[in-house]
Structure 1
Amino acid sequence: MPRNNPGDGNRKPGSPTIKSVETSLEIVDELQRRENAQVTELANATGKSKGTVHKHLITLLKHDYVVKDGNTYRIGLRFLDIGGYALHQIDGLQYIEPKIDELAEVTGETVQFSVEQRGRSVVLDRKAGKKGVFSRARIGKRFYMHQIAGGKAVLANLPDERVRDIIDRHGLPPTTDETITSEAALFEELKEVRERGYAFNIDESTQGLRAVGVPLMGPSGTVIGAFAVAGPSHRMRGERFESEIPDVIRSVINELELNLAHS
């Protein structure tokens, strides 16, 4: 399982980096945001010259990290191979995936499992139940931890010092008017999460979407990640939202934690 490390690669201001690599990564990030783009669009978005952008694209194209269709570039499937390899490194995922399917079937909603890496929540797997709605989440998608139920469930089980490190690194940016943007308010909510054992997301990442997040704990007592069940506000309300779904998730996690402890 991934381990939480307070010094996990946090780059301090002024640390040396390779500018040409950063340029390539900026281009890749921009292609991901836009789905596809031409050289001029990427130059304008990154602030680099068209010549510079073109050289980077040709290099990425040579190694199959981008593909070209006419004058348009998009992300190549080489990244799929790398993503699959990264996912394969997660110990215990073979026990987690069936539980995601089980929760999706029982609740009918969208279920995902995420872990913390370098201060962000990263979705490792997800499944939409029969009534599951579209969301921004996908495998590999990164979220600010304070914006989502799974992220808050993990934060509540990290040392306060580590939580402050994450805030210092990423801030508390809002996505909706309901997103927590105050450090004091976040710590107050994390205290409540620890007391009840699960976290809520009420319109904090997407307007009209609610979620319940429950942490998955390892045999050593450290947090591994979190399961979250998300759905529209008109279904995720009242007793179903506040107790029924949390109880279902916790019963599944209790069984999973036993399996992990004896695997």
Structure 2
Amino acid sequence: MGNNANETNLVKSDETLFAIIEQLRESDGAGVTELAKQLDMAKSSIHKHLHTMVKHGYVVKRNDTYHIGLQFLNFGEYVRDSYDIYHASKSKIHELAERTGEMVWLIIPENGLGWFLYGEKGDSGISEESIVGSWTYLHNNSGGKAILANLPSEQIDNIIDQHGLPTKTENTITDLNTLRTELENIRERGYAVNQGEDIAGIHAVGVPLISDGEIQGALSIAGAAHRFKRDQREQKLAEYLITAADDIEVNLAYQ
């Protein structure tokens, strides 16, 4: 994940701790020797951090392998539950998933990235479980582009300065002028599209969620590219999303 934080302000022990956690997730569990090799660190240091995290429930040990603990789920559920937009959107996301048969996402912006806060699938077979809680760049995602299109120009520039416009697929927009034109088109038509720009073969339509004049997140519908080819299909999904977004924004206003 891109980050321009001043390295001199970082705490080395905290950096080590997060590196271990991230590696445990990436490896789906690992032993002390394996972690020391992957992170190029002393086994004694790795062991101390693991022992501390086991004590507090953030890591569990099964035989000689350490895994991420359920304490993280406890905090994750707490964080998601703290967002009004999550509660305001859940029923509408369920309705859209049933109506369209596609995957429906709630994406929120944080630190210049888009985070998948919640999602439900219809009968399309795309699983949401591995994506909820993960992040995406805003420029290659329909919901992300809907968010960018409703931010001030200065904030858009800051996000691009921080994260750049990295390529995910051959369809990803990586030119700033092209992105600016795309964002202007989104403002004019009221919705964004993603034509295999994040994941090859997956297309999506997204709309912004705005409350009190500020962008709160985005709602999107994603599915296999062959089901999104016709302009009529894209526009119909956009209509569903815009109607749902209006209801969500009303829900937010009265929470």
Under TM normalisation by the shorter chain, which class is it? over 0.9
Q: Which runs of 4+ in 1 moved over 6 A?
A: none
- In structure 1, what is the equivalent of residue 96 of structure 2? 103
- Partner SS state of residue 116, structure 1: strand
- Matched residues in 1 for 2:112 and 2:173: separation? 16
- Report deviation, 1:137: 5.3
Q: 2:13 aligns with which of 13, 20, 24?
A: 20
- Report deviation, 1:15: 4.4
CA 1:182–1:15: 2 relative to 1, 3 Å: farther
After superposition, residues 202-217 of structure 1 pair within 5 angstroms as 202-217=195-210
Is 2:49 the counterpart of 1:56?
Answer: yes
- Matched residues in 1 for 2:86 and 2:129: separation? 22
CA 1:111–1:132: 2 relative to 1, 3 Å: farther
- Partner SS state of residue 58, structure 1: helix
Asked if the contact 1:199–1:213 (Cα under 8 Å) also holds between the matched residues in 2, the reply is: yes
- Matched residues in 2 for 1:248 and 1:137: separation? 25
Asked if the contact 2:121–2:128 (Cα under 8 Å) also holds between the matched residues in 1, the reply is: no
- Matched residues in 2 for 1:198 and 1:65: separation? 40
- Report deviation, 1:177: 1.5
Name whichever structure is richer in helix by fraction. Answer: 2
- In structure 2, what is the equivalent of residue 182 of structure 1? 175
Is 2:223 the counterpart of 1:231?
Answer: yes
Q: Number of paired residues?
A: 253
- Report deviation, 1:125: 0.7
CA 1:240–1:33: 2 relative to 1, 3 Å: farther
TM-score by length of 2: 0.93
- Taking every aligned residue pair, what percent have the same amino acid on both sides? 41
Asked if the contact 2:4–2:162 (Cα under 8 Å) also holds between the matched residues in 1, the reply is: no
- Matched residues in 1 for 2:21 and 2:53: separation? 9
Which segment is superposed worse, 175-184 or 156-165? 175-184
- Matched residues in 1 for 2:186 and 2:131: separation? 25
Which segment is superposed worse, 122-131 or 235-244? 235-244
- Matched residues in 1 for 2:165 and 2:47: separation? 35
- Partner SS state of residue 134, structure 1: coil
- Matched residues in 2 for 1:177 and 1:61: separation? 43
- Partner SS state of residue 127, structure 2: coil
- Partner SS state of residue 234, structure 1: helix
CA 1:230–1:75: 2 relative to 1, 3 Å: same
TM-score by length of 1: 0.90
Is 2:34 the counterpart of 1:35?
Answer: no
- Partner SS state of residue 68, structure 1: strand
- Matched residues in 1 for 2:246 and 2:45: separation? 53
CA 1:47–1:166: 2 relative to 1, 3 Å: farther
- Partner SS state of residue 74, structure 2: helix
Amino acid at match of 1:256: I
Q: 1:141 aligns with which of 134, 139, 143?
A: 134
Q: Which runs of 5+ in 2 are unaligned?
A: none
- Report deviation, 1:88: 1.8
- Matched residues in 2 for 1:229 and 1:166: separation? 24
Is 2:238 the counterpart of 1:246?
Answer: yes
- In structure 1, what is the equivalent of residue 39 of structure 2? 46
Q: Which runs of 5+ in 1 are unaligned?
A: 1-9
Which segment is superposed worse, 41-50 or 76-85? 41-50
RMSD over aligned Cα, in angstroms? 1.7
Amino acid at match of 1:258: V
Is 2:143 the counterpart of 1:114?
Answer: no
